[in-house]
Every structure is written in structure tokens, then in C-alpha cells.
Amino acid sequence: MIFLVLLLIVAVAMAVISYNALQKQGQNVREKASNTQVAISKKLTLINQLIDVVKNYQEGEQLVQLKISQDATTGNLANSYQQTGAIMAAVQGIADKFPNLKASEQYHRLVDSIQQCEQNIQDCREKYNYAVKEYNTRRSKIPTVFFAKTMGFPEAPYLQFDISGNQDVTSLQAFKTDDGERLQQLLSGAGSKIAGLASQAGKAGADLVDKIRELPDKNQTKN
């Protein structure tokens, strides 16, 4: 019985260690996703400014302002990035029709800033994917793999873009990890089990003592 209590204590300790490690790396994944979202939002803002410049040269061209979202899920990031690629292609097509627009200093300044944002987005994406790799690797290791899903730590999705910015956003899901509730439930359940086993062990010990006391004394047997 004591062995079972010790075994359960060791299992709980391993689960807590795994939980803390996954929580830390999961937070890093969310932070990198947020940084990528900020970089894409900056690009969206610059593209909207570029759209305003284009409209000043040709009011007949229909360009819709891009919506800037604070949603940092991989699906939303991929969708927002895809929109920037489509709009930039349309803007460049319009600029080719209007030499004055293409020669505009403001146009070139915004395009250069957008290109710098693009590089920043790719850097952020690489850092995000590296954080995902570290998290998923830790999650798949023994003994963490036995606790991860139960404690609310799903596999984190990677973020990939092709040259045109297209991605199957339906295959990407929001990455969320446990907020501590499941760990509390785990510790509460483990505490109850340990208390139960300890109680059983105590009762078994008391029964054993009573049985020993009931055994006839050797000296009395000889007499």
C-alpha cells in the first residue's frame, strides 16, 4: 500500500513538472504568434495607406480597405497575409497604368516600407515555427506525452506561406492551452487518492497490530 502511495506521488510530481514546462513553452508559442500578428497588422496598415494614394490618382479603381484584426490564430494570420498578397498585386497592376503614380515618392516610400514589413513577417513566422517545434517536441517526449492531452495541451499548428501568400486556412486551428483549471483538478484528484490510500494503509496497519495482540503469548502457552 505504501508503494502505491509513493508511486502516485511520483506520478503527480512528474505531471506537475511536465505541466510547468508545457505552460512555459506554450506561452512562448502564443507570444511568437502575437508578434507575427503585429507584423502583419503593420503591413495591412501600410497597404491601406497605399490604397488611399492610389485612389487619389484614379477614383474609378475599386480597392477595398483591408480589415485589421487582433486575432492571432494561425488561421487568421494566414488569411490576413493572403489578402495582402492579393491587394499588392492589384495595386501594382494599377500603378503600371499610371506612370505618375509609379513615379510618386510617396508610392515608393510606402512600397519600400511594405517590403520591409514582409521581411519582418517572414522572420516572425520562422521564430513562431521554431517555438512550435520546441513545444511539440517537448510534448511528444516521455513521460510528458502521457499527460499532455489530459492537461489541456494540444499539438501546436505550424504557419506556412507560399510565394503568393496562399494557405489552406481551414486546416489551421486556434492554439489554446490550459489555464490551470485542469492542473487543479489533477492535484485535487490525486490528493484524494493519496489520502484514501493512506487511510487504507493506516487501517491495514491497525488491523495487523490487533491481530498480533490477539496471538497467544508464548509463555502462557508453555504454562
Type of residue at 38: V
| pLDDT given at position 171 | 38
Burial string for 131-166 (b: 16+ CB within 10 Å, else e) reads bbeebbebbeeeebeebbeebbbbebbebebeeebe
| pLDDT given at position 55 | 81
For residue 169, the 8-state DSSP code is G
| pLDDT given at position 169 | 41
Give me the sign of the Cα torsion angle 120, 123, 127, 128.
Answer: positive
> 144: Cβ–Cβ under 8 A, 6 or more apart, which residues?
18, 21, 22, 138
Rounded-to-integer distance, Cα 140 and Cα 186, Å: 20
Rounded-to-integer distance, Cα 122 and Cα 162, Å: 11
| pLDDT given at position 211 | 59
For residue 215, the 8-state DSSP code is S
| pLDDT given at position 170 | 38
Kindly state the cell numbers that stand for 33: 504568434
- Tens digit of each residue's pLDDT (9 = 90 or more) over 1-44: 566 667 667 777 777 888 888 989 999 999 998 898 889 889 88
- Residues of the chain predicted below pLDDT 50: 163-172, 190, 194-195, 197, 209, 221, 223
- Tens digit of each residue's pLDDT (9 = 90 or more) over 146-157: 878 888 888 898
Residue 222 CA to its chain's centroid (Å)? 76
- What does the domain layout of the chain look like in residue ranges? 2-216
Q: Which among 63, 45, 64, 44 is positioned nearest to 101, based on CA atoms?
A: 63
Q: Strand, coil or helix: what is 151?
A: coil
Total-model pTM: 0.68
